[in-house]
Amino acid sequence: MSYIMLGAPGAGKGTQAIALSNQFQIPHISTGDILRTHIQQQTNLGAKAKEYIDQGLLVPDELVVDLVKDRLAQPDCKKGFILDGFPRTMVQAHALAEALKDLGYVLRAVINVDVPDEDIMIRMTGRRICPNCGNTYHIQHHPPLEDGVCDRCKTALSIREDDQAETVAKRLQVYHQQTRPLIQFYNDQHILLTVDGTESATTVTQNIMKALGANA
Ligand code: AP5
C-alpha cells in the first residue's frame, strides 16, 4: 500500500515517514533527500536544485516529477512506498496521479501532519540530521542518545543549510501558496487523514497507525 506525507516544512513528515517505512517495510521516498544527495554528489541536477533550495524556493516541477517517476518504477516500490515531500504543487499532484495509474498503484492515504507556523521555526532551528542515513533529530524534542552522533549509524550529525530562520520563513510562505491547496485536493478524493503534529513524535506515529487501523 502507498502513502503520501503532506505538511509544512518541519511538520515532521520525514520523522513519521521513517517510522511508517520501518513499520510497513516499504521504501521511504523523500524528494528533499534525493535532491540533497544530488547536491552532495555535485551532479548537474544537484547544481540546479541548490539554487532553489538555498533560497527556500521549490525546485521546478519538471525536474522533480521525472525523479519521482524513475524512483516509483523501481521494483522495490511494487509492495508500496511512502512519498515524503512530493507532491508539493498541483502540477506535481496531477503528474503523480497519472504515473500511479500507468504503474497500476493505488494510494491508500494522504497523511497531513498539521503543525502551526509558530512551532515550525523552533523545530527547524533545533533540527540535526545524519548526513549518512538521513535519520532526523531535534536537540530538545528528539535528541540522539549520544550528543551529536546518529543513533543508527554513529555518524556525526549536521545542520541543514536551509534551516536558517530567513530561509525557513520563505519556505513557509511557499508552502502556504503552493502546497497547502493539496489538502483540499486530496480531501475531495476522500483519502486525506489529518493528524495533530504538535504531539510527541511517538504519539503522532501511534495516532497515524490508529487512524490507518494498523498496530503501532
Ligand atoms: P524537504 O527536505 O522535503 O524539506 P521540507 O518539506 O521543507 O520538510 P523538512 O524535511 O524540512 O521537514 P519534515 O516535515 O520532514 O520534518 P522532520 O521530520 O525533518 O525539501 C527541502 C527542499 O527541497 C524544499 O524546500 C525544496 O526546495 C526542495 N524540494 C523537495 N521536494 C520538492 C518537490 N516535490 N518539489 C519542488 N521542490 C522540492 O522534523 C523537523 C524537526 O522537528 C526535526 O528536528 C524533528 O526531530 C523534529 N520533530 C519531528 N516531529 C516532532 C514532534 N512531533 N514534536 C517535536 N519535534 C518533532
Note the pLDDT tens digit of each residue in 66-100: 999 999 999 999 999 999 999 999 999 999 999 99
Using DSSP's 3-state secondary structure scheme, residue 132 falls into: coil
Atom 2 of ligand 1, nearest CA residue:
32
Question: What integer pLDDT is reported at residue 215 of this predicted model?
Answer: 62
Question: pTM for this one?
Answer: 0.91
Q: Which residues are catalytic?
A: 13, 88, 127, 160, 171
DSSP secondary structure letter of residue 179: I
Residue 216 CA to ligand 1 center (angstroms) comes to 23
Instruction: In whole angstroms, give the CA distance from residue 6 to residue 149.
Output: 28
Q: Does pLDDT of 156 surpass 80?
A: yes
> What is the average per-residue pLDDT within 125-137?
90
pLDDT digits (tens, 9 = 90+) for 13-22: 999 999 999 9
Q: Which CATH number fits domain 2-115+179-211: 3.30.470.10, 1.25.40.10, 3.30.360.10, 3.40.50.300?
A: 3.40.50.300
Helix axis angle for 117-126 and 165-174, nearest 10°, is 140
Helices 31-40 and 44-53, packing angle to 10 deg: 120
Query: CA 216, CA 210: separation in Å to the nearest integer?
Result: 7
Query: CA–CA separation, 97 vs 4, rounded Å?
Result: 12
Index of the ligand 1 atom closest to the CA of residue 15: 18
Helices (H), the chain: 13-24, 31-40, 44-53, 61-72, 90-103, 117-126, 165-174, 181-187, 201-212
